[in-house]
Amino acid sequence: MSRDAFPRGFVWGVATSAFQIEGAHDIDGRGPSIWDRYAAQPGLIEDGSNANVACDHYHRYQGDIGLMKSLGVGAYRFSIAWPRVVPFGRGPVNEAGLDFYDRLVDGLLSAGITPWSTLYHWDLPQALQDEGGWTRRSTADAFVEFADAVSIRLGDRVQHWITHNEPWCVSVLGHADGKQAPGHRSWPEALVASHHLLLSHGRVVPVLRCNSPGSRIGITLNTAECEPASPSDADRAAARQFDGELNRWFLDPIHFGRYPSDVIEYHERVGRLPRGMDFVRPGDLEEVHTPLDFIGVNYYSRAVVRSSTVPEADNEPRTIPAPDPIELTDMGWEVYPNGLTRALIRLNTDYAPSALFVTENGAAYSTGPGSDGSVEDTERCAYVKQHLGACLEAIRAGVPLHGYFLWSLLDNFEWAFGFSKRFGIVWVDFETQERIIKASGHMYSRIVRRNSLAEDRAA
Ligand code: IFM
């Protein structure tokens, strides 16, 4: 195998999520989600936009499948909008909503593209939030009902399932930092929510195994290497602590059936667990600790962590901008491909998952069409090549990395940033819905077809 070649059978994909691309927010019985509500509040979305139309993928999915086919990708990771399928979170199933995913899955299969379906990518039905959302244990039960309905309908054709996307973002950004829906600022809520997310994951896996026999099931986590800002003991301790909150809080229960004791102790010490871990009931962690077929890794950058020098009550470790970054993306995130290699090796060493997939990796750059209509997004090309090189490094180091999904197929609604950040390898004109494959899309297509970085590595 040449130095630049990927293993035979390596899965090459692109990824999106329902809320970010579908639009059709009130079509065919879809109910409101927490992100509709969040985006409707003045001042919360950077450019004042909402996702009511987004990429209008709901109506244009056939064209979007055509784009994927022309790129030659073998797999498409998309999410299922819970409010489209069960508009009020629990209760009657909206068959028209399921019909859409039926059409999408059939279209993908006839184009030779393998569907990879994520069940929860952040768009909780608002009706469930009105009852307390993920802070309520009953939301985990509602998620099981939703997953059951989806997998009964699609489980004969969808053979790759991801239960949750980035539960750290849902719990911490959504419930402690207020930067995402539902926009709360309460650490106790965030920790309860994280447990119910994990519990719902564990409970859905056997449902999927039953309704979709032979399928491969995993969960996607946003992992990042947490590096101390300096060699000082304080910064090293802060980095370890942030690693605990971000990575081990999710990975340990899934793989070992327990929460990391140092992180529990820390949360208790700073008052985030006023009633201890009383939301964890007997048997919960056995359910969370259910065998998986893979772990999905979403990687964008590393976290550089310093201890708090301000005497804040919680002494929370702070992530800071990397010192002397060579390059930042439009998100302000450092381009740091080596962090991907290290994250994959660490996951393999510490947790020995059956398989790993990079389920998201990509970069926001605003480059648009030039005078000839082409989009020469050279920075994204470089980013993708460097990170694929990082994947190869990990594979050479023995990591069972079996695939890579580029985020994202399309420019789309980047949550609290609205349309101000573009991650697509396909340009979307949000006025006309015209799509243009960017240079990065053409480059990715060549890599996919060759199953190798050769020639493109140095370009
Ligand atoms: O757009 C998001 C995606 O929904 C989840 N992972 C990170 C991406 C870029 O911020």
Would you call 217 helix, strand, or coil by DSSP? strand
Residues of the chain with pLDDT under 50: 311, 313
Omega into 125 within 30° of 0, i.e. cis? no
Give residue 216 CA to ligand 1 midpoint distance, Å.
23
Alpha-carbon gap, residue 323 to 186, rounded angstroms: 30
Pocket test for ligand 1, best of 361, 423, 425, 428 (most atoms within 8 A of CB): 423
pLDDT given for residue 456 in this prediction: 77
Ligand 1 centre to CA of 346 (Å) is 22
Task: Return the residue whose CA atom lies nearest to atom 1 of ligand 1.
Answer: 414
User: Do you know the residue count of the chain?
Assistant: 459
Burial 185-221 (b: 16+ CB within 10 A, else e): eebbbbbbbbbbbbbbbbbbbebbbebbeebbbbbbb
In ligand 1, which atom is closest to the CA atom of 222? 6
Radius of gyration from C-alpha coordinates of the chain: 21
Q: What is the pLDDT of residues 13-55, one digit of tens each?
A: 999 999 999 999 999 999 999 999 999 999 999 999 999 999 9
CA 331, chain centre distance (Å): 16
What are the tokens at 100?
């859409």
- The SS3 assignment for 191 reads helix
Ligand 1 centroid distance, CA of 407 (Å):
8
- Residue pLDDT, tens place only, 425-449: 999 999 999 999 999 999 999 999 9
Residues 6+ apart with CB under 8 A from 457: 4, 385, 389
Burial class (CB in 10 A: 0-12, 13-18, 19+), 440: buried
| Residue 352 region by backbone torsions, left for phi larger than 0, else alpha for psi between -120 and 50, else beta | left
- Look-up of token digits 């244009």: 60
- As annotated, the active-site residues are 166, 360
Atom of ligand 1 nearest to the CA of 20: 4
**Across the strands, what pairs with 304?**
227, 320
**Centre of ligand 1 from the C-alpha of residue 414, in Å:** 7
Nearest residue CA, atom 9 of ligand 1?
Answer: 414
Ligand 1 neighbours, Cβ below 6 Å, are: 17, 20, 166, 298, 360, 407, 414, 423
Residue type, 353: P
Q: How far is the CA of 248 from the centre of ligand 1 (A)?
A: 20
In which residue are the tokens 């962590």 written?
305
C-alpha 58 to ligand 1 mean position (Å): 19
Report CA(230)–ligand 1 centroid distance (Å): 29
Q: Which is the closest atom of ligand 1 to the Cα of 412?
A: 1
Is residue 78 within 8 A of residue 18, CB to CB? The reply is: yes
Please report the pLDDT score of residue 405 as a whole number: 99
CA-nearest residue for atom 10, ligand 1, is 414
The reported pLDDT for the residue numbered 311 is 45
Alpha-carbon torsion (169, 171, 172, 178), positive or negative: positive
Q: In what order do the strands lie in the sheet with 226-228?
A: 226-228, 303-306, 318-320
Q: Which atom of ligand 1 is nearest to the CA of 414?
A: 1
- Output the pLDDT for position 283: 98
Q: To test the ligand 1 pocket, which listed residue (408, 420, 428) has its Cβ within 8 A of the most ligand atoms?
A: 408
Atom of ligand 1 nearest to the CA of 17: 4
Max Cα separation, the chain?
Answer: 64
3-state secondary structure of 322: coil
Tell me which of 415, 419, 420 to substitute to probe ligand 1's pocket, judged by most ligand atoms within 8 Å of the beta carbon: 415
Atom of ligand 1 nearest to the CA of 415: 1
Whose Cα sits closest to atom 2 in ligand 1? 414
Q: Which residues pair with 216 in a beta bridge?
A: 160
- Report CA 335 to chain centroid distance, whole Å: 18
Distance CA 71, CA 371 (A): 23
Question: In terms of C-beta density within 10 A (0-12 exposed, 13-18 middle, 19 or more buried), how is residue 237 classed?
Answer: middle
Cα distances (angstroms) measured from residue 423 to each of 60, 418, 426 = 19, 12, 9
Tell me the whole-structure pTM to 2 decimals: 0.97
- At 377 the pLDDT is 98
**Strand intervals (E) in 102-150:** 114-120
The helix/strand/coil state of 404 is strand
Residue 273: both structure tokens together: 């667990």
Alpha helices in 8-94 (DSSP H): 18-21, 34-40, 57-71, 82-85
Neighbours of 364 (CB within 10 A): 23
Strands (E) in 308-412, as ranges, are: 318-320, 356-360, 401-407
